[in-house]
């Protein structure tokens, strides 16, 4: 049994039940250990949660930085960023769900460590939008607001997306991007 296996099981249970409804006993059962044995690998339940949030954010930051480094026109870069985000979200659902929904269960001391990284990630999205605006491709009055709209649509997908449904993550990303890109792009009838 490794720490990572415990974290993985914990993510699944946290997602299903929520942090507070999930007990260390549940996690122990899932990895077929005694509850006390978990404490050989982790220091506390809160530490598990923090580790999961860190993992999730690492994935997202890594994905976003790769996209930002690409040499693409803003519109394509935005599409690529949305695709990457949704793919991570929907392929690592346990982790993502914990990041988005169980974040509130972090106790203050741990939260302080987490918030700056979260802010950093959001700033990556803003920089993408700013790039598009500076090149005159996007028309955006409030970059912070639009980035929240963007992340909002995508974040909410984890509450309703079904793997056995009609859409693949890639198709979903495309539909989503279509809707937004049209709303952001300078229209033909607009002046320069």
Partner DNA sequence: ATCAACCTACCGACCGTTCGGTAGTCTTAG
Partner DNA sequence: CTAAGACTACCGAACGGTCGGTAGGTTGAT
Residues that bind DNA (CB under 7 A): 1, 22-26, 32-41, 43-46
No. of helices (H) and no. of strands (E), the chain: 9, 0
190 binds, among DNA, a second copy, none (CB under 5 to 8 A by kind): none
24 binds, among DNA, a second copy, none (CB under 5 to 8 A by kind): DNA
Measured CA to CA, the distance from residue 35 to residue 32 in angstroms comes to: 9
| Smallest distance from DNA to CB 18, Å | 11
For the CA atoms of 55, 13, 156, 58, the dihedral, rounded to the nearest 10 degrees, stands at: 0
Binders of a second copy in range 91-120 (CB under 8 A): 101, 104-105
156: contact with a second copy by CB under 8 A: yes
151: contact with a second copy by CB under 8 A: yes
| Smallest distance from a second copy to CB 112, Å | 18
Residue 55: how many CB atoms within 10 A of its CB?
Answer: 18
Nearest by Cα to 53 from 130, 2, 126, 106: 106
157 binds, among a second copy, DNA, none (CB under 5 to 8 A by kind): a second copy
Measured CA to CA, the distance from residue 79 to residue 23 in angstroms comes to: 40
Nearest by Cα to 131 from 151, 118, 116, 146: 146
33 binds, among DNA, a second copy, none (CB under 5 to 8 A by kind): DNA
| Smallest distance from DNA to CB 100, Å | 20
Contact pick of 2, 116, 188, 191 for a second copy (by CB under 8 A): 188
167 binds, among DNA, a second copy, none (CB under 5 to 8 A by kind): a second copy
Measured CA to CA, the distance from residue 96 to residue 89 in angstroms comes to: 5
- The answer to whether 114 and 53 have CB atoms below 8 angstroms apart is yes
Measured CA to CA, the distance from residue 126 to residue 108 in angstroms comes to: 26
135 binds, among DNA, a second copy, none (CB under 5 to 8 A by kind): none
**Residues facing residue 185 across a β-bridge:** 138
* Contact footprint for a second copy (CB under 8 A): 18-21, 101, 104-105, 141-142, 145-146, 148-149, 151-157, 160, 167, 172, 175-176, 178-184, 187-189
């Amino acid at each position: 049994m490794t720490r990572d296996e415990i974290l993985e099981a914990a993510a699944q249970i946290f997602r299903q039940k929520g942090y507070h409804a999930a007990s260390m006993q549940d996690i122990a059962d899932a990895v077929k250990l005694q509850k006390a044995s978990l404490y050989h690998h982790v220091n506390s339940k809160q530490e598990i949660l923090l580790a999961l949030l860190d993992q999730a954010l690492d994935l997202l930051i890594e994905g976003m930085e790769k996209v930002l480094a690409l040499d693409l026109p803003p519109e394509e870069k935005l599409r690529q960023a949305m695709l990457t985000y949704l793919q991570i979200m929907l392929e690592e659902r346990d982790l993502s769900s914990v990041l988005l929904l169980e974040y509130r269960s972090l106790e203050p001391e741990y939260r302080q460590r987490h918030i700056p990284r979260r802010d950093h990630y959001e700033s990556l999205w803003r920089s993408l939008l700013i790039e598009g605006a500076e090149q005159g491709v996007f028309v955006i009055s409030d970059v912070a607001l639009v980035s929240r709209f963007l992340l909002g649509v995508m974040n909410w997908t984890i509450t309703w997306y079904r793997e056995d449904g009609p859409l693949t993550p890639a198709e979903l990303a495309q539909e989503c991007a279509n809707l937004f890109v049209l709303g952001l792009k300078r229209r033909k009838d607009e002046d320069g």
